[in-house]
Amino acid sequence: MSPSSRPEPLSAPARVIEAILFVSSAPVSAAELAEVLSLRPADVRAEVDRLNEHLLRHGHGLTVTGSPGGWRMATSEEVSAAVGAFRETSASQKTRLSKAAVETLAVIAYNQPVTRSEVEEIRGVRCERVIETLLSHGLIRIAGRRRGTGSPLLYRTTEQFLETFGVAAISELPTLEELDELAPRGETREDMNDDDYSE
C-alpha cells in the first residue's frame, strides 16, 4: 500500500469515542463522553461525526447511530444480511407492525398526548385493538387522563418507539406539512402494499 492510499488516522478523541462505543451496550450520551474526554459536548458531536465519516469512507462494517440517550455502535446496512444470518435477531427487531398500527402510531406521535377518540376521528376507523397492541409492544404508554367529560385516557409514544424507529427524539421526525408536500399523489395500490408489515 503506498503512503498516499493509507487511510487518514483518526484523531485521539475520535479513537477514544470509537473504543467506548464499542464496549458499551447502552447508548452513551454527549455529556458522558465530554466528561471522559474533557471536551465540550459540541466538540464531542463533531468528533462523533468525524468518526462516522471515517467508518463510512473506509468501508467499515460498523457505524455510529443516534439513539434516545446518546450514540451506539451498530453494524452497517451493507452487512445486515450476513449479520442477520449469523445472529438471531433481538426481540425488538422482531416487532412486526401492521399498516394500521404504524398509522395509529403516527397519529399519536404527532398529536401527543392524544385520546383514542381523537385518533379515531383522524383515521376514520376504530382503533381500540390497535392501541391495545401498541401498548402491549411498549410503543405507546398511558400518560394520564384528559380533564373533561368521561376523563378519557391520554396516550404518548415511549422511548421504545424512538428505539424501534431509530430516531433520537420526536423532534427528528419531519413535520406533517413537510410530509404532506412529499406525499406522492399518483401511487399505485401495489406500491403501498410494499410498505406493509404484517402483524
Partner 1 sequence: MEDGRGELAEFRAEVDGFSGPFDLLCWLVESEELSAAEISVGQAVRIYGAYLANTSRVSVSVVFDFMLMAASLVLNKIRSLLPDRCAEPDEEPVEISASEMDVLGRLARYRPYRASARHLTGLKEKRDRLFFRAQPDDGSPSLFLGDLYALCRLWWSLAESRSTRVAPERGEDDYDLAGAPTAVPDEEQVERKMLEILDELARSGALSLSSLLLGGRTMTNLVVTILALLEMSRTGRVRVTQEEQFGDVSIVPA
Report how many helices (DSSP H) and strands (DSSP E) the chain contains, helices first: 10, 5
Q: Which is nearer to partner 1, 1 or 81 (CB)?
A: 81
Decide: is 135 part of the binding site for partner 1 (CB under 8 A): yes
Q: Which of 4, 77, 85, 147 binds partner 1 (CB under 8 A)?
A: 77
Q: Which of 12, 56, 83, 169 binds partner 1 (CB under 8 A)?
A: 83
CA–CA distance, 93 with 101 (Å, rounded to integer): 16
Decide: is 182 part of the binding site for partner 1 (CB under 8 A): yes
Q: Which stretch binds partner 1 (CB under 8 A): 21-29, 31-39, 43-51, 52-60?
A: 21-29
Per the DSSP assignment, residues forming a β-bridge with 62 are 75
DSSP character at residue 63: E
The DSSP code sequence of 128-161 is: HHHHHHHHHTTSEEEEEE-SSTT--EEEEE-HHH
Q: Which of 34, 106, 168, 170 binds partner 1 (CB under 8 A)?
A: 106
CA–CA distance, 150 with 66 (Å, rounded to integer): 40
Q: At what angle do helices 116-123 and 128-136 cross, to 10 degrees?
A: 120
**Rule CB under 8 A: which residues touch partner 1?**
24-26, 63, 65, 72-77, 80, 83-84, 87, 89-90, 93, 97-100, 102-103, 105-107, 109-110, 122-126, 129, 135, 138, 141-142, 158, 164-167, 173-174, 176-177, 179-180, 182-189, 192-193, 195-199
